[in-house]
Structure 1
Amino acid sequence: MSSRAHLLNDRTAEHYRRSLTDGVGRVADRLARTERPFTGVTPAELAPAVSSIDLDQPLQDPGAALDELEDVYLRDAVYFHHPRYLAHLNCPVAIPAVLGEAVLAAVNSSLDTWDQSAGGTLIERRLIDWTAGRIGLGKAADGIFTSGGTQSNLQALLLAREEACRLVRKNSETAQPTSAILPRLRVLASECGHFSVEKAARLLGLGPEAVIPVPCDRDRRMRASALEQELARCAEEDLVVMAVVVTAGTTDFGSIDPLPQVAALCEAAGVWMHVDAAYGCGLLVSPRRGHLLAGIERADSVTVDYHKSFFQPVSSSAVLVRDRSTLRHVTYHADYLNPARSVAERIPNQVDKSIQTTRRFDALKLWMTLRVMGADTVGELFDEVVDRAADAWRLLDADPRYEVVTEPQLSTLVFRYVPEDAAGIPDSLVDKANLHAREALFASGDAVVAGTVVDGRHHLKFTLLNPETTLDDIAVVLDLLAGHAESFLAPARRA
C-alpha cells in the first residue's frame, strides 16, 4: 500500500469506511463483553507490552493494529459505561455524541477562523447562545468552547484579572502598570472549590497568597457571611478582589454555593463573580431541579462541562460571559490568520474569543446530542443519577458500617468505613483500612470508587453519573468495600 493510501480523501473513502467499521465493531464487541469496569491490571504488568512495541516498524494493516490495540488498551481500559464504575466525574457517553465525534475527526475542522470551519463556527456560536440562554445571562452574553473546566476557569479568571486592572487604572490618579497592580489582586474561592482556581492564579502571575479560601458550612457550601467578612477585610487592607469564585457542584461533595447571596455581595462590592458549574451544569436541562441554580444568571462568567453531566465524550466544555466585550482581553490579531480588518468585514473568527488557536469542533457532539435526543432527555438522565445518589445516601446513612459526610445536592457521596468496635482502633488504622479497601477493590476490577481527604481523614467517594447504576449495584460495592476493610483490620483485632 502506498503512503498516500493512508490519507483520507475522495480516493480512499472506501478504505476509510472499512477501517472504521472494523474499529467500531471491535469496540462494540468489547462493550458487549465487558463484565467488570476494570481488569485490575497493574502498571508493572501492562508497561512491558507497550514498551516492547517497535514504533519504527509499522504493521501496515489496520486490522493487525487493532489486534495489537486489544492487548495494550481495549482489554484493560477502564470502562465508564459499566454500572459499577463509581469513581470520578466520567460519564457514559451518548451515542449521537459519539457519532458527532466520528464526523468531526474525519472532516477535521479547526474552529479558529471562518475560512477553516464555516458552518462549524455558526454551530458553535448557536450552542453558546443556547447555553447562555439556559443560564439567563442576557442578550450581551457570549463565550467559547474549551478543552475542559480547568481551561474555562483559567480564561474566566484571565478576563476578571484584566477587568480588575482596568478598573484600578480608571480609578487611580496616577498611571499604574500591571506589574504594580498584580501583587494586590486577590481571588476569593470556596475552600471546597476546584484546585484549578489556584493553578490559574499561578499561571496569571499571582502569588500563592492570592487565592483566599472562604470557609464552608457543614454541607460544604460557601458561607456567605464569611465571604462578606473577607470582602470587607480586603477593602480595609487596600487589596483588590479581582473575582469571587463560587461552585455549582463541588467535585467531592456536589454542593452548590448560595448563588443569590454571593451575587448580592459581589454586586454591592463591584466584584467579578465566576460560577464554576463544570459539574452542576446538568441542572440547566433538568426538568425537576433547575431551581438549584437560581442566582447563576447574575454571574459575570460561568464554566460548564458538557463532558460531565451532558453525557458527552471528552473534551466538551465552555466558558460563558455576561458581557461579550470582556472577551476582547484574549483577542490578538495575526495578519496570516485573523487580521484586524476581518472585524470590520464582520468575519466571525472564533480565535478572537479563545486562548487557543487551533481548536477541535467539539461543539458538534453536543449539537448532535440535542438534535437527536433533545435537552429534556439529557436532563432526565441527569435527574436519574441525582435520584440514585439520594437513595444511596439513605442506604449509607442507615448502614452502621459507614459514616457519610453530607447529604448530596447532586450525585456524589463521601463516606468512610468505620468498624463496629472503632473505639479500640486508632483513627490512623481506620484511615489505612479505607485506603486499602479502595485499592483492593480497584485491583480486583469488580468496581471502581474514588477517595478523598475530609478534615484530615481518608474517605471513600461515589460519583454517580450512570443512569444504569442501580441501588443493588451500590449495595454490592458497599459490601465489597466493607469486606476488604475488615480483612485489613483482622490482624489488628487478633493482636
Structure 2
Amino acid sequence: MTAIQEKTDFKHLFLTNSSIENYESQMNHAMNSVTAIMTSRFPYSGHSPLDVKVGIERAFPEFQPMIKQNHQAVFEKLAHSIAANTIHVSHPACAAHLHCPPMISGLAAEVIISGLNQSMDSWDQSGAATMVEQYVMNGLCKMFQLPKGDGVMTSGGTQSNLMGLLLAREKAAAKLWGWNIKKQGLPREHYRLKILCSEVAHFSVQQAASILGLGEDAVVLVKADKKYRMCMEDLASCIGLLKQQGDLPFALIGTAGTTDFGSIDPLDEMSKLAKAHDLWFHADAAYGGGLVLSDTKKQRLAGIEQADSITVDFHKMFYQPISCGAFLVKDRDSFSFIKHHADYLNPIEDEDDDIPNLVSKSIQTTRRFDALKPFLSFQLVGQNEWAEMIDHTMEVTQKTYEVLRKDPEFAVYHQPELSTVVFRYIGTGMLSKEKLNQLNYHIREILLKNGEVVMARTKVGGEACLKFTFLNPLTTIKDVQTIISKMKEIGDYESRRLQDEQN
C-alpha cells in the first residue's frame, strides 16, 4: 500500500501553541491599522463613496490572489484604503447616529472573543462562555427588577424587538384559539391580530410584523404628544376602536428612547393599560436602557419592570463594540414558545442533566460570545464612573439645546429627554421651505465632505432637519459650539446663494 503523504504546514494559519508568534504579529498589524486613525483631526476622510470604492479596488485588485501576500504590505494597504476611510466613532465631532465610541475594555474583550471563537448555541461548544452569558442575563434582570426573568444576547434592537413580538404572537394565538403557530402556522383569524406602538417608534416594529406574517398593516400607530411620547388618550381610543371593529390587539410597544427625539413613552401608565386589556407589553429600551446605571436618571424608566419583555442594546449607552444586544423577559417560561430540540445540539436529555444549551431561548443558532464585552466592562469600569459618563453626555445635550434655542438662526423641535437634539437652520428666514430643506441638507453634506463633522438628518412634518446624537462622553459643549459656528458659517454662505436662485 502506498503511503499517504499528509500536508502538515497549515499550523501557521491557525491559533495553536506553535503559531503564537504569527498571531501576535498579525494582531499588532491590526492594532496599528486601528490606532493610526486615532491621530486624525477629523471624524472622516471626506472621500466620496466612489473614491473609497476605487481606492479599495486599486489596493486589492484581486479578491483572492493565487499566491499569498506579504502580511505587512496587506495591513498597510488596509490601513490606507479601508481604515482611513471609515468613520472615527470616538471623535468628539462624530454625533450622527446611535453609534457609540467603544470602551477599551470592550475592545479587549473582542480580542478574547475572536481568539476563543466559542459558539453560544450549546454547552459543548462554549463551556464557561455559556455561564458568563447567563451570569450577565441574571445581572441585567436584577438591574431591571425582573426577579423571575431571563434573557439572551442578540445582535441588537431589531432582533430583540422581533423576539418580543414573536413571543407575544405565540402567546396570543395559544390563549385566543388554543393554536400553536410554531407547529400549525398562522390561524385563519391572524389578520385580526393588531400591534400598537407610537407613531415615532422604531421601524423594526413594522418589519417584525411583516416577518411574522401579520403584515405591516397589523401595526396601529398611536399619536405622539408634543414631547413625542405616546399619547395615552389616543392609545385608549385606539384600543377601544380596534375591539369595536372586531380586531384583536395583542401587543403594546413602549419606547424608552425614540431614535430621533430620545423621547420616553409613559411606561408606567402603558403597563397598567396593557394589563387591563391583556396585552403583551414590550419595552424597546435599546437606546434609553443605559439610564438604569444612573441613580439620577433611572426614574425616567419607571414602569419598565412591568414589561413582559425588554430590548436592551449594549452598543449604545453601554459603550460596547457592535454588535451587542440583549432580550429580556419578565417570565423565564416565556422562552418555551420558541424552544426547539435538535438531537445533535440540545437534546431533551440535556435538560434532565442540567446541561445548559442557550439555543433553546434564541432564534439564532451560531452566536458569538458577545456577553464577554459587558461582563468585562462591568468589572473594569465602576458603576459610579459609568453613571458620570451618562450624566455628562445628557448635560452636554441640554446645554446644546439651550445654545440652539437662544440662537435666532436655528429652530429646535423638542426639549431633549435623552441625548438627541433635532433642529433646523433657518438663517434670516428669507428662504422658502423648499430652499430651507436644501440648505439644511447642504450644511450636513459640506461638513461630511470636508471630513469635519458627522451629523444626521431627518424630517419632521416634511421639514428637513439636522440632528445631534450624543453618545460620546468625550464630547464637550465647547466641541459642540465649534460645530455650531461651522454650521452658521456654511449656512450664511449657502443661504445667500440659494436666495439669489430664489429671486
- The aligned residue for residue 336 of structure 1 is 344
Using the alignment, how far apart are the partners of 2:173 and 2:197 within structure 1?
Answer: 19
Q: How many residues align?
A: 487
Aligned residue for 1:453, secondary structure, equals strand
Letter in 2 for 1:433: L
The answer to whether 1:110 aligns with 2:119 is: yes
Using the alignment, how far apart are the partners of 1:28 and 1:293 within structure 2?
Answer: 37
Using the alignment, how far apart are the partners of 1:135 and 1:147 within structure 2?
Answer: 20
CA contact (8 A) 2:119 2:126 kept: yes
- The aligned residue for residue 406 of structure 1 is 414
Task: Identify the match of residue 79 of structure 1 among 88, 108, 124.
Answer: 88
Task: Identify the match of residue 475 of structure 1 among 476, 481, 488.
Answer: 481
- The aligned residue for residue 28 of structure 1 is 35
CA contact (8 A) 2:11 2:18 kept: no
Letter in 1 for 2:15: L
The answer to whether 1:183 aligns with 2:188 is: no
Using the alignment, how far apart are the partners of 2:292 and 2:71 within structure 1?
Answer: 42
The answer to whether 1:124 aligns with 2:130 is: no
- The aligned residue for residue 386 of structure 1 is 394
Which consecutive residues of structure 1, in runs of 5 or more, have no partner in the other structure?
none
Q: 1:335 to 1:45 in 2, by over 3 A?
A: same
Using the alignment, how far apart are the partners of 1:251 and 1:299 within structure 2?
Answer: 20
- The aligned residue for residue 5 of structure 2 is none
- The aligned residue for residue 94 of structure 1 is 103
State the TM-score, normalized to the length of structure 2.
0.94
Q: 1:256 to 1:289 in 2, by over 3 A?
A: same
Letter in 1 for 2:120: L
Q: Offset at 1:40?
A: 0.5
Q: Deviations over 1:302-335 (max 9, x none)?
A: 0000100000000110010011111112211111
Within 5 Å, which residues of 2 pair with 1:52-451? 52=58, 53=60, 54-57=62-65, 59-138=68-147, 140-170=148-178, 178-420=186-428, 422=429, 424-451=430-457
Using the alignment, how far apart are the partners of 2:195 and 2:355 within structure 1?
Answer: 36
Task: Identify the match of residue 44 of structure 1 among 40, 50, 59.
Answer: 50
RMSD between superposed Cα atoms in Å:
1.5
Identity over aligned pairs, percent: 37
The answer to whether 1:17 aligns with 2:20 is: no
Q: 1:379 to 1:62 in 2, by over 3 A?
A: farther
Q: Offset at 1:483?
A: 2.3
State the TM-score, normalized to the length of structure 1.
0.96
CA contact (8 A) 2:209 2:218 kept: yes
Q: Offset at 1:241?
A: 1.3
Mean Cα displacement is larger for which, 201-210 or 340-349? 340-349
Q: Offset at 1:192?
A: 0.8
Q: Structure 1 segments of 4 or more deviating over 6 A?
A: none
Using the alignment, how far apart are the partners of 2:213 and 2:29 within structure 1?
Answer: 49
Mean Cα displacement is larger for which, 298-307 or 473-482? 473-482
Using the alignment, how far apart are the partners of 1:50 and 1:406 within structure 2?
Answer: 41
CA contact (8 A) 1:137 1:299 kept: no
Letter in 2 for 1:39: S
Q: Offset at 1:2?
A: 4.2
Using the alignment, how far apart are the partners of 1:492 and 1:68 within structure 2?
Answer: 42
Mean Cα displacement is larger for which, 391-400 or 351-360? 391-400
Using the alignment, how far apart are the partners of 2:344 and 2:498 within structure 1?
Answer: 70
Aligned residue for 2:376, secondary structure, equals helix
CA contact (8 A) 1:401 1:418 kept: yes
Using the alignment, how far apart are the partners of 1:300 and 1:34 within structure 2?
Answer: 45
Letter in 1 for 2:28: T
Using the alignment, how far apart are the partners of 2:185 and 2:41 within structure 1?
Answer: 60
Aligned residue for 2:315, secondary structure, equals helix
CA contact (8 A) 2:207 2:216 kept: no
Which consecutive residues of structure 2, in runs of 5 or more, have no partner in the other structure?
1-7
Mean Cα displacement is larger for which, 335-344 or 444-453? 335-344
Q: Offset at 1:177?
A: 7.0
Q: Deviations over 1:105-160 (max 9, x none)?
A: 0000011001111111111011111111111122x201100001000101111001
The answer to whether 1:6 aligns with 2:18 is: no
Letter in 2 for 1:6: L
Q: Offset at 1:3?
A: 3.7
- The aligned residue for residue 4 of structure 2 is none
CA contact (8 A) 2:258 2:264 kept: yes
Using the alignment, how far apart are the partners of 1:241 and 1:212 within structure 2?
Answer: 9
Using the alignment, how far apart are the partners of 1:47 and 1:323 within structure 2?
Answer: 48
Mean Cα displacement is larger for which, 225-234 or 268-277? 225-234
Using the alignment, how far apart are the partners of 1:246 and 1:79 within structure 2?
Answer: 32
Using the alignment, how far apart are the partners of 1:117 and 1:489 within structure 2?
Answer: 59
